[in-house]
Amino acid sequence: MKIATIIGARPQFIKAAPGNRAIAEYNRLTSHSSRITEVIIHTGQHFDADMSDVFFKELNIPKPDYNLGINSANHGAMTGRMLEKIEEILIKEKPDWVLVYGDTNSTIAGALAAVKLHIQIAHVEAGLRSFNREMPEEHNRVLTDHCSDLLFCPSQTAVNNLRNEGFINIVTNSSPLIPNPYSSPLVTNVGDTMYDAILQFSEIARKQSTILEDLGLTSKEYLLATVHRPYNTDIPENLQNILSAFIEINEPIIFPVHPRTKQCLINSKLKIEHLKIKCIPPVGYLDMLMLEQNAKAILTDSGGMQKEAYFFGVPCVTMRTETEWVETVEAGWNVVVGADREKIVEAVRSFKMNNPRLELYGDGGAAKKIIQHLTAYELKS
């Protein structure tokens, strides 16, 4: 079997690493004729060393077979160029499956290219919904789900979202994924590959990362903040509100500044001048894991960091008006505040957790289950 894995953004590198490892383990245990060949297509959506190269190195992901270098364009132009180039590669490689992750332009471009060529699509992290139609990611994930043949959900909430949209062929992890005669997409909850990655790399991070020492940090005596969403960075008022909240909190804050955020700060002529706010360049995955698990709390508009905070048992303040990861809010470990200065400050000062962390995102074996399902489906189809 040949799988074309399409990735392009930092979160996708993290999600794809356990899958690559699961394929390697599967190949070690099976005969040569039944092995999986993985073709990695990197669209280049995240392209600089801080956002791309370091992740491939730290996560031990093989060098991409194709690097399209497509970035720094508007959504339509970027997606169109990706679609054209991915189609060319799929025609050449003739994969049995196209594997896409998450909700980026790379994801929808890969799904559209595959569905037009009648190539089977598996969507990892299917079923997520923010119910905010102003988010480009929301349209990407919805369209990708409706293009796909196998929908691998990270949580029961994601399964429920798909059921509510009319997906009826929902199976349990123990059920065989037999192709449906009516070509109805198959939906199953396998858990979250980001949890796989946390379990796989946290210990490595503790052994290899020196970022706490380099920054002079003490565990649980600083906050960690990230901001990169367009509605926080491209609207000067929102960005100003967030920065004002950071200053008012008046606690040590480590702030890895995303490239787009840095440019928006320059364009808006906003400056961060406060002794307790330390701006640093984007960090690699291992360093970020160390910063996350040792933070007193995390302030973010990232989707992945909300989950990682939950995995580490760190309170999370989400600077968005909604979240796909409603389970973390319902469990009492995440609070959604938008770009409201007062709400951000109040959330940090009053956050209390009294609830135990539950196994919301699987048991850490999501990638292995995905490969098992793909191979079983392939044998039966």
The residues carrying an active-site annotation are 228
Q: How far is CA 117 from CA 83, 157, 279, in A?
A: 12, 31, 46
To which residue do tokens 């565990």 refer? 219
Q: Quick one: which of 101, 97, 89, 73 has its CA closest to 6?
A: 101
CA angle 292, 295, 299 (to 5 degrees): 80
Residues 6+ positions from 161 with CB-CB distance below 8 Å: 127, 128, 129
218 vs 227: CA distance, rounded Å = 23
274 vs 73: CA distance, rounded Å = 34
Q: What is the DSSP letter of 318?
A: E
Judge whether 68 and 82 are in contact, CB under 8 Å: yes
202 vs 208: CA distance, rounded Å = 10
Helix (H) or strand (E) holding 322: none
41 vs 96: CA distance, rounded Å = 15
Torsion sign (Cα): 60, 145, 48, 230: negative
Residues 6+ positions from 285 with CB-CB distance below 8 Å: 13, 14, 54, 55, 58, 59, 201, 205
Residues in the chain, overall count: 381
